[in-house]
Amino acid sequence: MSKKNRTYFAICLFSMMILFSISDNVIGALIPTFKSEFSLNNTQISSLIAISSLGYIIFGYIGGIICSKYGYKVLTISGYSLLTLAFFMGTRVHSYVSLIIVFFIINSGIGTLTILESTVIPIVFISMQAVIMNLTHFFYGLGSSFSQKITGTLIAKGTDWRSIYLYLALFCTFSFIMTLFAKFPTVSISKSKDNVSKSKIFKNKLIYLYIIAIGTYVAAETNTGKWLINYIMNNFNGFTEANSSNYTFIFFAVFSVGRLLGGFVVEKFGYFKTVIKSMIAAFLLFTAGILLKEKGLFLISLSGLFFSIVYPTVVLTINSVFKKNTAYITGIIIPLASVVTMIIGFLFGYMNDKLGTYITFFMIPLCILISLTSISVLNKKVQKTND
């Protein structure tokens, strides 16, 4: 692929990641509105998130199969078609059930396209892969930081939340059309004798460590985005959607900076080593932020800097650890990791109702700790295999 085509393809990936981030994080600013308009409790909100996550899980697996059999272009058309449909449907939501359907389809589209984002960078970009992967995810953080702030401000001014999904539908259509003109790399279809049997794949313990590591980390990141505003408004006086969203804005702003610069740090000091140290810092900051209550909100926001490099860097290592059937194995790890994330997400809402939002928020540093432990074990096992 020529340099010009690689540059255009990268721009398409950046556009797609902004779309992902807005789709994922708008709900964080809309949870108080959904609770009010549809008379929902925290458990029902977590049920909405959990059920919609099934779309991500199912279509993440299907996406791996589509990619292996039909290639990246068919995969991209499938994912964008689902997203465009869902966003236009979002402008017509008037019940809890229809809300669930819309979010299920949104997550189905994201799950399908995640296979593209997770596997294509090592193919298109031969050198500085950690830099490109983290730069791609920088645009996710960029979209996240502004989406909740803008959404919170619009809602505070009385804007109908459905209009936000109209804007998303228009942006999605633009990104879809732009991506159709990209030159997609060819997926190498391995001959049967080179394929690893499914039973052998599932016997590999490294896969389960990846599932736990990614699943618990993503649970920590996404539940911060989805529940931080709710946590602030429920525990501290004088906060609205607008000023509470300042903290999610800061979290994702420093998160974006970390992804912009983090790739260079990862390339210099090593993938696993950098991730482990970053997660230790995130755990300490987030825990201290909760313990200090209102005075610690800035520490929670600052922890986003150390969240930043974890997901893209860990996903990138899948390509080096599993040399064959990478798209298929990624299509196993990401959806099953999402099952872990979904279960934790449901427990988060349930515990908010039963134990209160303050105690429940400690689940986030707990998830970071579990992920950190899994990545440390994974690192040791990979090193032994390489030796």
Which DSSP string corresponds to 13-30? HHHHHHHHHHHHHHHHHH
Q: In a 3-state reduction of DSSP, which class is residue 219?
A: helix
The residue range of the domain holding 359 is 3-183+196-386
Is residue 92 in a domain?
yes
Q: Answer yes or no: are the C-beta atoms of 378 and 209 closer than 8 Å.
A: yes
Q: What's the pTM?
A: 0.76
Is residue 190, in this structure, part of any structural domain at all? no
What are the Cα distances from residue 46, in Å, to 65, 100, 144? 29, 11, 20
Helix (H, G, I), strand (E, B) or coil at 188: coil
pLDDT for residue 367? 97
Are 185 and 1 in contact, with CB atoms under 8 Å apart? yes
Instruction: Determine the Cα–Cα distance for residues 161 and 36; give it in Å rounded to an integer.
Output: 12
Residue 191 included in any domain: no
At residue 117's C-alpha, the angle toward residues 59 and 124, to 5°, is 135
Query: Quick check: is 44 in a domain?
Result: yes
Task: Give phi and psi for 211, each to the nearest 5.
Answer: -60, -45
Count: domains in the chain: 1
CATH code of 96's domain: 1.20.1250.20
- pLDDT tens for the chain, 387 residues long, are 677 888 888 889 889 989 988 888 788 778 888 999 999 988 898 889 888 888 988 888 888 888 888 888 999 999 999 999 999 999 999 999 999 999 999 999 998 988 887 777 766 766 666 777 778 878 887 887 788 778 878 888 888 999 999 999 999 999 999 999 988 877 655 444 445 566 677 788 899 999 999 999 999 998 998 889 889 998 998 888 778 888 988 998 898 888 888 888 888 888 899 999 999 999 999 999 999 999 999 999 999 999 988 988 898 888 778 877 777 788 788 888 988 998 998 899 889 889 999 999 999 999 999 999 999 999 998 887 765
Residue 35 lies in a domain: yes
Q: What is the pLDDT of residue 151?
A: 84
Q: Is residue 189 part of a domain?
A: no
The whole-angstrom separation of Cα 342 and Cα 286 is: 21
Question: Could you tell me which residues come within 8 angstroms of residue 26 by beta carbon, excluding any fewer than 6 positions away?
Answer: 147, 148, 151, 164, 168
Is 209 domain-assigned? yes
